[in-house]
A = this chain, B = another copy of it.
Amino acid sequence: MVAYGEFRQGYDKDTADTRLVFYGLRYILEHYVARRWTLQDVELADRFFAGHRVPGHTPFPYPRDLFLRFIRENDGYMPVRLQALPEGSVVHAHVPTFQLTAEAPYAPLCTYLETLLTHVWYPTTVATLSRRCKELIAAAFDRSVDGGRTNPLLNSRLHDFGFRGCTCVEQSVLGGVAHLLNFDGTDTLSAAYYAQFALNEGRPVGESIPATEHSVMTSWPSERQAISNMISHFGEGVFATVMDSYDYQRALDEVVPAVVAELQEQGGFWVLRPDSGDPTDAVLAALRAAERAFGADVNGKGFKVPRGVGVIQGDGIDYHNIRHILEAVMEAGYSVQAVAFGMGGGLLQRLSRDTLSLATKLSHIVYADGTAVDTMKAPKTGPEKASLPGVLAVKRVNGIPTAFPAELVAPEEDMLQVVYDKRPVPVQWENFDELRQRVEREWAALPPTALVLAPELAAKRAAVAERLGVRWQVQG
């Protein structure tokens, strides 16, 4: 049996840009698939499945004999074959991203592993959302920042505030690392630590700045004293203070002007952080207060850049209001280089498997009598929701990763690389610096949409649909 995984739509059903950043299969493989099962595991599974049933009714089946067999015959490794796109690959929706094969008696393991592999929806969805946000910000940089999207500030404009909104630490690592494929800024330290030591040979991956939260501000007798303390400790560099502990507008009107001399003496860069109210209004208010107190320069593109002060909006941020805020900032005459975003639950938690609609589907069966059959999900409603039939391969056509019947692609040309073959196999995983370069390069090189089905595969799909008695108008 052969099954494969496909993301069926672009971010949040976007049909104008169906690109996605495939990421995270390595983690699932190394932690949950490429493990040796033991007889003791099977004993515990026996005890578990004996009880996991409706009392007095049929036992809940599990493939016990298969487990015993591969423990005996295959050193405890699940005898399946897993192929996957390279980590960090950019492809369009509908391109197969991984493919699982299990043979002969072990065929049932093919769908047995499906649930775990499906978890790749999460890092892929975070990486894609974060990249889509970068695309918005880069476009605004092109309009209003000297150097446009090549200005290195771009990489710190979306900061990961999502650790506390995660459901658990493992999620924070997976989602936080996926964001780091696109940006440097993160306070999800679990992810930055993991990326540095587990994925980048010890070289730093993330960055952050000293910053206050409300409890720091309110532990001082006054907001002014809290800010002066930050300036005296961190005023030579970049630092941030939250500004709405008592009254945001009053803090902008009264405290910001009061510390101008202190900050200018230190020479650093102060980031104002609103944390309530309408995000667009809050950002504009901060920029205007900064300009009033510190002055502003006009850059080469005719936009104002407040001197030594910026703003980070970290409350209520999602993909859609990033676009809105960037527009409003430029409309008001400011360069977007003065604005950073902090995204928390919106970046790491308010996503689901439906965001990119990942599905794993059976595509090929060889029956016990040797008959080979290509199969697929073929709903009456049309080919958009159909899956792909047969054993699959992915090959670039004019640079576009395109799905083919496997028999038409030489293994060395197949982007679906073998990452596990009945046991762990040597894989040349790229380090994190290389992954980042891959994502940058491949995202820029790929048009927002493209046809991703080779004509031969479209024809095969039409033939299988006809065999299954399903009639569509196949276009493409």
Which residues does A use to contact B, with CB under 8 Å? 1, 3, 31-32, 44, 47-48, 50-55, 57-58, 60-61, 111, 114-116, 118-119, 121-122, 156, 163-171, 174-175, 189, 192-193, 196-197, 202-204, 206-210, 213-216, 218-219, 234, 236-239, 246-247, 268-269, 276, 345, 349-350, 352-354, 361-362, 365, 375, 377, 379-380
Which of A156, A171, A238: most chain B CB closer than 10 A?
A171
Offer 19 A-B interface pairs, CB within 8 angstroms, sorted by A. A44-B193, A47-B202, A48-B193, A48-B196, A52-B206, A54-B156, A54-B207, A54-B209, A58-B236, A111-B215, A111-B216, A114-B164, A165-B352, A167-B171, A167-B175, A218-B362, A218-B375, A349-B353, A350-B352
A167-B122, A353-B349 known; A192-B361 Cβ under 8 A: no
- Bound CA span A353–B161, Å: 13
Residues of B within 8 A of A156 (CB): 54
Residues of B within 8 A of A170 (CB): 168-171
Residues of B within 8 A of A234 (CB): 58, 61
- Bound CA span A218–B175, Å: 35
Residues of B within 8 A of A218 (CB): 362, 375, 377
A53 to chain B, nearest CB (A): 6
- Bound CA span A192–B52, Å: 8
A62 to chain B, nearest CB (A): 9
Complex partner residue of A52 from B204, B219, B246, B345, CB under 8 angstroms: B204
Residues of B within 8 A of A122 (CB): 166-168
Which of A50, A170, A202, A362: most chain B CB closer than 10 A?
A170
Identity of the chain B residue whose Cβ is nearest the Cβ of A122 in the assembled complex: B167
- Bound CA span A57–B308, Å: 14
Identity of the chain B residue whose Cβ is nearest the Cβ of A58 in the assembled complex: B237
Identity of the chain B residue whose Cβ is nearest the Cβ of A123 in the assembled complex: B167
A52-B207, A170-B169, A171-B171 known; A238-B192 Cβ under 8 A: no
Residues of B within 8 A of A166 (CB): 119, 122, 167
- Bound CA span A236–B3, Å: 31
Besides the contacts A55-B207, A118-B164, A218-B375, what 11 more A-B pairs have beta carbons closer than 8 Å? Answer: A48-B196, A51-B207, A52-B206, A54-B209, A54-B237, A58-B238, A58-B268, A60-B208, A168-B168, A219-B375, A345-B352
- Bound CA span A268–B61, Å: 16
Contact at B349–A345, with CB atoms within 8 Å? no
- Bound CA span A236–B58, Å: 7
Q: Is the interface of A mostly helix, strand, loop or mixed?
A: mixed
A48-B193, A375-B218 known; A209-B268 Cβ under 8 A: no
- Bound CA span A104–B129, Å: 43
Complex partner residue of A209 from B58, B196, B379, CB under 8 angstroms: B58
Identity of the chain B residue whose Cβ is nearest the Cβ of A218 in the assembled complex: B375
Residues of B within 8 A of A175 (CB): 167
Contact at B169–A116, with CB atoms within 8 Å? yes
Identity of the chain B residue whose Cβ is nearest the Cβ of A346 in the assembled complex: B352
Closest 5 CB pairs of A and B: A51-B204, A58-B237, A57-B237, A170-B170, A215-B362
Residues of B within 8 A of A50 (CB): 204
Residues of B within 8 A of A57 (CB): 209, 236-238, 268-269
A53-B207, A209-B60, A268-B57 known; A167-B350 Cβ under 8 A: no
A342 to chain B, nearest CB (A): 14
Residues of B within 8 A of A118 (CB): 164-165
Contact at B58–A353, with CB atoms within 8 Å? no
Residues of B within 8 A of A167 (CB): 119, 122, 166-167, 171, 174-175
Which of A1, A219, A361: most chain B CB closer than 10 A?
A219
Residues of B within 8 A of A350 (CB): 352
Residues of B within 8 A of A171 (CB): 167-168, 170-171
- Bound CA span A202–B50, Å: 11
- Bound CA span A380–B245, Å: 10
Complex partner residue of A163 from B53, B55, B115, B163, CB under 8 angstroms: B115
- Bound CA span A246–B1, Å: 21
